[in-house]
Amino acid sequence: MAFWSNEMACAIDILIRTYFRDFCWLDLSLRSILKFVEGYRRIIIVMPGSSFERLRGDEIPASARATVVRCHDYADDYLGQQVSKLNADEFTNAALIAHIDSDCIFRAPCSLPVLLTTNGRPTIRMLWRSRRPPSDGWRRCIADFYDEPLPFDVLAPQPYVYSRDLYSNLRRYCRLRHGVGLDEWSLSRRIDSMSEFGLLAAQAWFHHRDDYCWVAADDEVGWPCRAYWSRSPSAASQRADLAHQLR
């Protein structure tokens, strides 16, 4: 069941799935959204109950138009956070859901409708010259699920956007194709061979291609959002630099 009524049915909501170890990055990501991003309705922050208990009241800026939602605690939260994102439509009734990870920081002004849609359709950006070979676990995940690979990589820099009906369509397809629920299928994977965004984009390509706009992103410059690695040895110094820039 969605958490909101039918207000602004054409809205774009930003969904961030996080946990307590990434709260420092979450703060920076939210500050970057407030500083640079327009054209979204609200931010949905999803975290396991055990992380929610560690959340301080001042860690989510009141001006962020953010709602914090609890999800299940998973034995392996790397896979668990992917499961949460595959069920994003349960956390919002927005027509379009934009995904941003906690360690993704906006660096330039942008409007989400302009950035993520084309002629009213959500845009999926393709990498024809990916650094990930087809044998890469994140790309192989798609071939294992559909018995057919995508001819390109869809893991261009975030954010990613999908229509809300794509999630239920993917879950339904998994039940028909594999005889198990999508959560179960995903949690059975090795962590290096599961890509939630790969599955969503592949579902769009194989079954709803005309509902999306497909754009080559290999030569894209000036993309306003940059991903950092929250477990990087230099993460602390990177956060300090970003905090200074986002003041």
- Residues with Cβ within 8 Å of residue 220, at least 6 apart in sequence: 125, 156
Give the pLDDT confidence of 178-236 residue by residue, as tens digits. 999 999 999 999 999 999 999 999 999 999 999 999 999 998 889 999 999 887 888 89
Sketch out the chain's domains with CATH numbers: 12-245 (3.90.550.10)
**Angle, CA of 106, 109 and 114, to the nearest 5°:** 100
- Helix or strand holding residue 23 (H, E): helix 23-36
The amino acid present at 168, given as its one-letter code, is S
Q: pTM value?
A: 0.93
Q: How far is CA 174 from CA 109, 124, 157, 199, 203, in A?
A: 38, 21, 26, 10, 10
**How many Å apart are CA 96 and CA 116, to the nearest integer?**
10
Give the pLDDT confidence of 40-86 residue by residue, as tens digits. 999 999 999 999 999 987 778 778 889 999 999 999 999 999 999 99
